[in-house]
Structure 1
Amino acid sequence: MAQRVLVTGGAGYIGSHACKVLKRAGFEPVTFDNLSTGWEQAVKFGPLARGDLMDRASIDAALETWKPVAVMHFAALSLVGESMRDPGTYWRVNVTGALNLLEATVAAGVKNFVFSSTCATYGDQDGVVLDEDTPQRPINAYGASKRAIEEMVANFGAAFGLNHTIFRYFNVAGADPEGEVGEQHDPETHLIPLMLDAVAGRRPALTVFGTDYPTRDGTCIRDYVHVMDLAQAHVLGLNRLLDGGPNRVFCLGTGRGFSVREVIEQSRAVTNREVPILFGDRRSGDAAALVCGSERAVRELGWEPELSTLPHMIADAWRWHRAPKFHE
């Protein structure tokens, strides 16, 4: 029988791709999701355990029923702008939900925990390639809540022997090349799917938020990682824990960033279509330039982000956006 992994947020964008890679690696992924932002149609690679991280009893029931060897935690509220307007909800849902999950995991005797964190914990630190030793100074409630969860995970490791791996990364893009799952949010806030929706005529125009940042062309710069490469890193981290490896934090990035204008130009090259654009003001909480390296992940996990080129990510995303998507 395949070893089971409980995947919180497995009906979402990154979680569903992680489930696919887990299945391909010989595990049975069990999606734990309340479907508030995820899609039941994305749960294709293992069973669905409907539940909510704010409901401890539902977590306990899932762990008792499925008896996983590990928990992989993706579920979270993750909109930077919203977190600036409503920080209380982000602290309540993200942190309390993670605390419930950690306590239930330990109580169930599950010893391995993989946490999907974020490079938003670093805040706005321009001009450097961020790594695992860079000081964390989040500038929005989303990043701050994730940093708090990282600390909780470490505390539970020290107190209860919970083996753990933590991943920090920036923008995730692309889609499963086979087209089984892809990126779809409601509302959509990510640059590449918004851009491709505008290209496809599903929305009138892409809004570029801020053109006066201290960057090479005035627009924000971000590091992008292909979602399948990201999922593969999580499975490598899980296997390392199961093999007795030590607790570790890993950054996942390419070490190079692309501006919003550069992403738009690459879209024109891939799709051979113009991108309709509107220009807006800066959004509160947005950093100017965020780029991270992944030397540790490459060295210690053997991670190879081979799909994480901008043309590949946009091409895979474009293929998904042109095909039928999930429906409510």
Structure 2
Amino acid sequence: MTATVGFKDRHTILVTGGAGYIGSHAVLALKDAGWKVAVIDNLVTGFAWAVPGDVPFYQGDIADGDLLARILSEQNIGGILHFAGSVVVPESVSDPLKYYSNNTAKSRSLIESAIQGGVKHFIFSSTAATYGTPDIDGPIGETTPQVPINPYGTSKLMTEWMLRDCAAAHDFNYCALRYFNVAGADPQARTGQSTAGATHLIKVAVEAALGKRDNVTVFGTDFDTPDGTGVRDYIHVSDLAHAHVLALEALIAEPSRSHTLNCGYGHGYSVLEVLDAIDRVTNRKITRVLAGRRAGDPASLTADNKAIRQSLGWTPQHDDLDTIVSHALAWERHLGERAG
């Protein structure tokens, strides 16, 4: 795209939360595609070592308007990829105000800084949790009513609404990417899920497989699914990061158009199927502890991904559960070596 080539020469892309799990993969994907990148992260859950040494890094809060104005000016920011936020569904139920602060109020401040600073392109890390528990059989499309059942989903939906309204009022376009369940790690083991106490199933299970946990708790065995455990659409984090690069190119190529797109593979695996895959890849048996459902967990979430394939030309490269598990396992071993 000619517009993208010229834009790439002139501008840097700011990645918020770029020291975290998904954000650090997006930084690598942007760099691999030839983009100049800068990162802001408060390091509450991120790690400074996850930011490449040649990437300008600012430790701070996305709601700090003075800091954002300085970054936008110093780095000549032309687009923002926004990953900073809180992501644990059960915690959002017990501490909703944290989620409305981190995910909604601070996003509002960031969007305001972007518009005031002349940034015209914004990509938002949204979630399938905005759909709640859709009364449909099969993959969920983007036009499915959004009725979130937990504060996490609501906090993200409110930011989608803000972006929609700002795009209508300003010279500004956006892409909201609704993630399903993100898993795996960079195939070259440059980064991965590193947060202590993470709740993502595959992360927890590979920790158990390597002896870092005694067992894996299966939350809910009475869902209306084939084996009674929750079914999720697990997308490899590198495929997701690549979708952000394509989204950025699409926004630059058509400045008058915004997008809201699902990010998933279009099929799911149950909790027990995931644990079986980890047993298979590691050739060892993880101890499973059966427990009741967690608050706010729907039975099944899988993506209808036709729109992202058509709009962005996105083609997944890692749509294989054993591959996702293998990459997550390799990263977990790497973390063990770092700690040793």
Provide TM-score, normalisation by structure 2.
Answer: 0.93
Q: Specify the alignment match of 2:240 in structure 1.
A: 230
Q: Does 1:306 align with 2:314?
A: no
In structure 2, give the amino acid aligned to 1:106: I
The equivalent position to 2:43 in structure 1, one of 29, 35, 44, is 35
- Residues 237-266 of structure 1, C-alpha deviation per residue, up to 9 Å, x if partnerless? 001111125211111111111000000111
State the 1:54 CA deviation.
Answer: 3.0
Counterpart contact for 2:225–2:299, Cα < 8 Å = yes
Tell me, what secondary structure is at the counterpart of 1:69? strand
In structure 2, give the amino acid aligned to 1:35: L
Pairing of 1:279-294 with structure 2 (within 5 A): 279-294=290-305
Q: Does 1:163 align with 2:173?
A: yes
- Identical counterparts, % of pairs: 42
- Residues 90-135 of structure 1, C-alpha deviation per residue, up to 9 Å, x if partnerless? 1122111101100000000111111110010000125231111111
Counterpart contact for 1:8–1:31, Cα < 8 Å = yes
Instruction: State the aligned residue count.
Output: 327
Pairing of 1:214-293 with structure 2 (within 5 A): 214-244=224-254, 246-293=257-304
Query: Which runs of 5 or more structure 2 residues have no equivalent in the other structure?
Result: 1-8
Deviates more, 1:77-86 or 1:37-46: 37-46
Q: Specify the alignment match of 1:94 in structure 2.
A: 103
Counterpart contact for 1:182–1:320, Cα < 8 Å = yes
State the 1:185 CA deviation.
Answer: 1.5
In structure 2, give the amino acid aligned to 1:37: T
Counterpart contact for 1:51–1:59, Cα < 8 Å = no
Distance 1:238 1:149 in 2: 18
State the 1:2 CA deviation.
Answer: 6.5
Alpha-carbon RMSD across the aligned residues, in angstroms, is 1.3
Distance 1:57 1:100 in 2: 11
Q: Specify the alignment match of 1:5 in structure 2.
A: 13
- Residues 178-200 of structure 1, C-alpha deviation per residue, up to 9 Å, x if partnerless? 11101112321110010010110
Q: Does 1:23 align with 2:31?
A: yes
Tell me, what secondary structure is at the counterpart of 2:203? helix
Q: Does 1:68 align with 2:80?
A: no
CA gap 1:92/1:324 in 2 versus in 1, 3 angstroms: closer
Q: Does 1:319 align with 2:326?
A: no
Counterpart contact for 1:211–1:218, Cα < 8 Å = yes
Distance 1:76 1:22 in 2: 20
- Residues 173-221 of structure 1, C-alpha deviation per residue, up to 9 Å, x if partnerless? 1110111101112321110010010110011111111111111101100
The equivalent position to 1:82 in structure 2, one of 91, 116, 129, is 91
The equivalent position to 1:142 in structure 2, one of 130, 146, 152, is 152
- Residues 122-160 of structure 1, C-alpha deviation per residue, up to 9 Å, x if partnerless? 001252311111110100000000000000001110111
Deviates more, 1:232-241 or 1:156-165: 156-165
State the 1:284 CA deviation.
Answer: 0.3
CA gap 1:274/1:2 in 2 versus in 1, 3 angstroms: farther
Counterpart contact for 1:2–1:27, Cα < 8 Å = no
Tell me, what secondary structure is at the counterpart of 1:176? coil
Distance 2:287 2:47 in 1: 28
Distance 1:279 1:2 in 2: 54
In structure 2, give the amino acid aligned to 1:183: Q
- Residues 71-98 of structure 1, C-alpha deviation per residue, up to 9 Å, x if partnerless? 1101111110000001111112211110
In structure 2, give the amino acid aligned to 1:28: K
Distance 1:95 1:151 in 2: 10
Tell me, what secondary structure is at the counterpart of 2:289? strand
- Residues 224-248 of structure 1, C-alpha deviation per residue, up to 9 Å, x if partnerless? 1000000000100001111125211
In structure 2, give the amino acid aligned to 1:69: G
Distance 2:242 2:273 in 1: 26
Distance 2:30 2:43 in 1: 20
In structure 1, give the amino acid aligned to 2:88: L
Distance 2:279 2:196 in 1: 25
State the 1:285 CA deviation.
Answer: 0.5
Tell me, what secondary structure is at the counterpart of 1:151? helix
